[in-house]
Amino acid sequence: MLNILIPFLILILVVVFIHEYGHYYFAKKYGVGVTDFSIGFGKELFGWNDKSGTRWKVCLLPLGGYVKFFGDRNVFSQKDHEEVLKKYSNEDQKKLFILKPLYQRSLIVFGGPLANFLLAILIFTSIYMFVGKDFTPAVIDEVQKNSPAEAAGIIKNDVILEIDGSKVKSILDVSKLISLSTSEFVDFKVSRYDQNILLKVKPNIIIADDGLGNNVKKRIIGIKLSPFNNEINHVKLGPVNAIYHSINEVYFVTTSTLKYMGSIIMGSGDSSQLGGPIRIAKITGQVAEFGLVPFLSIMAYISISLGLINLFPIPLLDGGHLMFYAFEKILGRPLSQKTQEGFFRIGMFLLLFLMFFATFNDLKDLGLF
């Protein structure tokens, strides 16, 4: 149990701290008072006050966190400005979040997701510089008989160049790109005798082990790969190249996640792969057993997911507040309190539904349903 719980807590604490620090950094940059910086919710376990009066604390439930701004009952509340002006002195008004210009409020809100993306870039950059990145071309060594690949016309010694328009830079990319495809057919571009050929493959979907002991749905096409000329090309990158490939990885994960979420909304995606804290904890513990690099990699992917999800235009999330600010920019004034409360009720319903659905999938994984 501890081999799952400890890596999960480390991952969550780091990713949540970075997210909240993004809000905190921009708040301090623009002179907003911060009264609380909390990792977790509920009863405070321990904490301390800094020189500026911020209470830094760790609370009992580590699944999230928040920063609380001076004068606000919650982090991004909207109040009537006239009441605020009467209640606070001129000096205190300078520290109020809601009296800051729209662009500053937007940056403070966006700072959390931005910090998550930057953490992922930092992790990938470090891995690519000090451990290396694989650039081994993907050569097809075997095509199974009566497989989707054979039906599509793929043959031995084809070199896979692209899958669904994404370049295959490494033999490791192939299974990832096939798994992330949400279409009925997967588009392949292969190199054969110095010619580029486009092929469409309809994968079979099977229940298989993910290598960590978990049963998942897999899209398979019936090929076996080998390194080009049997040579592994694993390269330690310089800083500029490492950052470039890190940004590409973050962009790829972000766009793939959005496509996947879109496919679920449209009804074509596999919603059973959505998971909550239980599944994340289980996978984190399993990955941590393979060493520091896999653990840091899963931390980067979770950080991207947290940043991206928080940008969804759902009230209670950062994206919901950015949506309100967009309306404020267009209308020239904030939305009325009644309208905001209506949006927040909708947002609460959506979040509770997603949490219920993810937890249900987690419990199915444990065999409880």
154 neighbors 199 (Cβ within 8 angstroms): yes
Return the structure tokens found at 135.
Answer: 């650039």
Nearest alpha-carbon partner for 27 in 86, 83, 85, 94? 94
Instruction: Give exposure, 14-52, as e/b (b: 16+ Cβ within 10 Å).
Output: bbbbbbbbbbbbbbeebebbbbbbbbbeeeeeeeeeeee
Strand partners, 216: 208
Report the SS3 class of residue 162: strand
Q: Which of 20, 44, 184, 231 is catalytic?
A: 20
In degrees rounded to 5, what are phi and psi of residue 8? -65, -45
Instruction: Give exposure, 228-263, as e/b (b: 16+ Cβ within 10 Å).
Output: eeeeeeeeebeeeebbebbeebbebbbebbebbbeb
Report the SS3 class of residue 261: helix
341 is known as an active-site residue: no
**Nearest-angstrom CA–CA distance, 235 and 297:** 17
- Active site members: 20
